[in-house]
Amino acid sequence: MFTPKLLFSAVVVFLASSGVNGAAYIPGCSFFAGQCLYTISQGQDANCLSAGSGSAAAVCCDTLKVDVKTIGSDNGKSRIVSLLGSKAQAQAATAQLEAERDDLLAELATVRSELADLTSQVVTCQASLGLSDGDSQPLTALGLPVNLRYCDFESDSDCTWTYDTDVVSHMTSSSSGPGADHSLGSTGGRFMALDVSKAAKNGKKYSTKTYFITSQEYEPANDYCIAFYYSMLGKDVQGLEVAIKTDTGSSYPVWSSSGPKSSDWLLAQFEVDREYVAEPFSLRFKVSTSSYKDYYGNLELDDGDIGIDDVYAYNGTCKEALGCSPNSVKRNSSDGSTPCYTFHVTALPWKDAYRTCREEGPASALVSVESEEEQNFLIGVINGDPALRVAGQSGFYTSGSDRQYEGSFKWTDTGSGRSVSGLYENWGYRQPNNVGGIQDCLLLEDAAEGFAWGDVDCDTAHPFICEKS
């Protein structure tokens, strides 16, 4: 075996005399057995293979290890050359790494923008296919999806309810009952109600007459959560009772209330004993009145109507059915409340947007922006999401509307609602301006100006935000 103790001069002579190509001096020394050794590769691999075994082959093939002591005065110079070489290599490597980093950053920016593009394309595709934008459905204790049957009474075809048509109807508003429906909070919104003036017949004072409003049939399930809004405004309002009516004709009272009530719309919410919902069933609302026409044909005891609106029937427990959906964003408000918001990028006219929000649960409505804190929170969520930023260019609908009284905007999440004026307001320049006399819905309109508000035509389609209190 070739030893590292070979004299440097001998090596140089050997390399020069051999005249071989490929011999190389590799800069830098390494320690071996307490000595600093320089490495010289002879580049004789091809010869070495043909030379076979033996000392000649070993000489050709081995890398030479040279003791620095044998280099004498050349040692320092070589070492400096070596160090300079290393430094130059390190600088070149650093420059290359920096160039590669810049390339990667540029590539990352491209990927980011492509991702934003793709996200908005997916959203557009989902919208064109009529798919929801990611709502995931809660499950019942049996692992089945919690299905909702919802009635807002806005369309005759929605819910196949039966009722005494001569006295109960889809009312829009009434002088003695609620001033607006619950779903839309506007005079145009409809609700199911006992019309006491029609119910009043020539008859005796103090005779109570009862009428029935019956829902469509619901499928049997292990549990049911029922929620609805009711109005019992007016001093002459009497009772409202809800019973479970099964196919076999049996009827089981499950909820009741007596009037009158001071608020226009109140929420009733209860679970139904599972024995009652083990077979197909309907909800039967019993409404009663003592109104009558006196001898001269005047209406008596007719102050008030009994109305119901926004009826929810979930085939699960209320705990499973209600609460914030997994795709909502929760806000921990400084006043201690924790509303949840769902953002919808699929543009809809205001009424359809409202229905979508109502279907998210009895405590859900189009968003009511009642503080700067709430406005800023919403902007923060929008700005943090590429798809919402894209959608936000055409604004987001809120529950704000002056459909009921022109120029008097209200947050309509609770039906008749609360006046916008006097609370937090963030109208854009010269808004609301009711252009064309048809702008009645409040839009978070101007994305470039922190989503300053504007009034727009309610029939135009816009993305929207739902709020669950």
Closest CA relative to residue 272, chosen from 317, 318, 224: 224
Is 190 or 245 the residue whose CB approaches Ca ion more closely? 190
Whole-number minimum distance, CB 154 to Ca ion, in Å?
5
Is 64 or 347 the residue whose CB approaches Ca ion more closely? 347
- The DSSP output letter for 145 is B
Is 181 or 223 the residue whose CB approaches Ca ion more closely? 181
Q: Is 290 in the site for Ca ion (CB under 5 A)?
A: no
Contacts of 291 (CB under 8 A, 6+ apart): 196, 197, 199, 200, 236, 299, 300, 301, 302
User: 162 to 191, contacts with Ca ion by CB under 5 A?
Assistant: 181, 183, 189, 191
3-state SS assignment for residue 106? helix
Site string for Ca ion, 405-434 (x = CB under 5 A): ----------------------------xx
Q: Is 446 in the site for Ca ion (CB under 5 A)?
A: no
Which region among 37-45, 71-79, 271-279, 309-317 touches Ca ion (by CB under 5 A)? 309-317
Whole-number minimum distance, CB 281 to Ca ion, in Å?
23
Please pick, from the candidates 289, 328, 364, 368, the single residue that binds Ca ion as defined by CB under 5 A: 368
3-state secondary structure 24-55: EEEEEEEEECCEEEEEEECCCHHHHHHHCCCH
Is 62 or 181 the residue whose CB approaches Ca ion more closely? 181
Closest CA relative to residue 357, chosen from 128, 222, 183, 155: 183
Instruction: Yes or no: say if 196 and 291 are a contact pair by the CB < 8 Å rule.
Output: yes
5's tokens:
């103790």
Is 286 or 410 the residue whose CB approaches Ca ion more closely? 410
Which region among 136-144, 159-167, 210-218, 306-314 touches Ca ion (by CB under 5 A)? 306-314
Which region among 24-32, 149-157, 199-207, 266-274 touches Ca ion (by CB under 5 A)? 149-157
**Alpha-carbon torsion 381, 145, 130, 369, what sign?**
negative
Closest CA relative to residue 383, chosen from 393, 371, 369, 374: 393
Is 60 or 369 the residue whose CB approaches Ca ion more closely? 369
Instruction: Yes or no: say if 387 and 373 are a contact pair by the CB < 8 Å rule.
Output: no
Is 181 or 195 the residue whose CB approaches Ca ion more closely? 181
Q: Is 439 in the site for Ca ion (CB under 5 A)?
A: yes
Closest CA relative to residue 64, chosen from 39, 83, 89: 39
Q: Is 360 in the site for Ca ion (CB under 5 A)?
A: no
Q: Is 223 in the site for Ca ion (CB under 5 A)?
A: no
Q: How do strand 201-202 and strand 292-293 relate by DSSP bridges?
A: parallel
Closest CA relative to residue 198, chosen from 165, 157, 235, 239: 165
Instruction: Yes or no: say if 185 and 401 are a contact pair by the CB < 8 Å rule.
Output: yes
Whole-number minimum distance, CB 336 to Ca ion, in Å?
14
- Residues forming contacts to Ca ion in the complex (CB under 5 A) are 152-153, 181, 183, 189, 191, 309, 368, 402, 433-434, 439-440, 454-455
